[in-house]
Amino acid sequence: MKLDEYRDWHRPMLACAGVMVVMAVVSAVGLAVDDRLIAGAPAWLKPFKFAVSFAVYALSWAWLVSLLRTRRRLAHTLSTIVVAVILVEYAIITLQVVRGTRSHFNFSTSLDGSLFKLMGVSIAVMWIGTLVLTLLLLRTRIADTASRWAVRLGTVISLLGLSLGGLMVMPTPAQRASMGTDTFDGIIGAHSVGVPDGGPSMPITGWSTVGGDLRIPHFVGMHALQALPLLVMALTLLSRRWARLRDDAVRGRLLLVAGFFYGGVLVLVTWQALRGQPLTAPDVLTLTALAALVGAATVGTAWALRRTAVSGGDVSDVRDVRDVRDVADNGADEAPVLAGRR
């Protein structure tokens, strides 16, 4: 990509990414100096994770919007609205940390409930904006086959991952039973399945190690938007050493296989979380499903790497074949001439 192409990137999204990078640093400092716990986790862990996630999301869409050739004004407006709701949601998360209380699922007071409802509206607007932008991208012509599949599959899977966040706002059986009684603690919704929120968890991510965690499929799905384009970049770099990858059709098929494998992993971790199973302790069913996915991806990769009839990266091979045929047609006397020409 040439330097002047960055000028077409969506400026408000770039600014949002910059703000989130700053807030990630601020949150990291908070983790170091503030020892408070909120719902069993370090107070500044959630602002840190959301800042990193929003930064990569905004940076990705700043680039993707620049790929559009039609409806650019609509896309620019929608992207700016998405930036606004991201900033609103992050401001509420930070405010609740300062107040020392939960930002998500919190209806303990009228203020907490109002803030969480506002976050819900922000998330809905963000989802609708992402949906429309995704539909616009699906109609956009992208010359490179691998990049086209990376953008299309990445945006669709990311939208599905964003949608999976809705599973977390449903009340748990225990919460339903406590509603209307003195034991109700004002929390409606949870990210853990089978265990209360705030138990033993993995470092950094905070994902549960004793039960299912719906944040895992939410995270995996959303970040297909970065994973698949990064794979395109990796294949482009590898093509310098491996001639087969210089074939546009081969790279496109590899991205197609990778996209469906990524989607399969998303389904798998969602199924695992809904069964109340931690990511770190898969059972036989989960491992069997994973093995099937890996096997299918292996077969798909072999299919993707097959040689095409005529490819731009293998022009020299085609010339070699033609030379050999010329020798066969003209007789063995031509062999020295061919050798000398080489």
Burial of 27 (0-12, 13-18, 19+ CB in 10 A): buried
Residue 186 φ/ψ, nearest 5 degrees: 85, 5
Q: Does 248 reside within a domain?
A: no
Q: Which residues contact 185 (CB under 8 A, 6 or more apart)?
A: 108, 178
Tell me what pLDDT residue 5 has: 60
Tell me what pLDDT residue 309 has: 58
Alpha-helix runs per DSSP H in 248-304 = 248-274, 284-304
CB distance 293 to 264 below 8 Å: yes
Residue type, 77: T
Q: Does 27 reside within a domain?
A: yes
CB distance 222 to 117 below 8 Å: no
Q: Does 7 reside within a domain?
A: yes
Q: Does 45 reside within a domain?
A: yes
Q: Does 318 reside within a domain?
A: no
CA-to-CA separations, 11 to 6, 8, 225, 320, in angstroms, rounded: 10, 8, 19, 50
CA 62 from chain centre, in angstroms, equals 15
CB distance 212 to 277 below 8 Å: yes
Q: Which residues contact 274 (CB under 8 A, 6 or more apart)?
A: 167, 193, 212, 214
Q: Does 136 reside within a domain?
A: yes
Q: Which residues contact 325 (CB under 8 A, 6 or more apart)?
A: none
Q: Does 304 reside within a domain?
A: no
Which residues face 213 on adjacent strands?
192
Q: Does 128 reside within a domain?
A: yes
Query: Using CA atoms, how far apart are residues 223 and 150, in angstroms rounded to an integer?
Result: 12
Query: Using CA atoms, how far apart are residues 238 and 220, in angstroms rounded to an integer?
Result: 25
Please give the chain's pLDDT, 342 residues, in tens.
Answer: 443 466 789 999 999 999 999 999 999 999 999 999 998 899 999 999 999 999 999 999 999 999 898 889 999 999 999 999 999 999 999 999 999 999 999 999 999 999 999 999 999 999 999 999 999 999 888 888 999 999 999 999 999 999 999 999 999 888 898 988 888 889 999 999 999 998 899 998 999 999 999 999 999 999 999 999 999 999 999 999 999 999 999 999 999 999 999 999 999 999 999 999 999 999 999 999 999 999 999 999 999 998 765 544 444 443 443 443 443 444 444 333 333 333
CB distance 107 to 187 below 8 Å: yes
Residue written as tokens 């990445």? 154
Largest CA distance in the chain: 100
Determine the angle formed by the axes of helices 215-222 and 248-274, rounding to 10 degrees. 170
Which residues face 32 on adjacent strands?
none
Q: Which residues contact 210 (CB under 8 A, 6 or more apart)?
A: 195, 199, 200, 278
Residue 212 φ/ψ, nearest 5 degrees: -70, 155
Domain of 112, in residue numbers: 1-141
- How many domains, in total, are found in the chain? 1
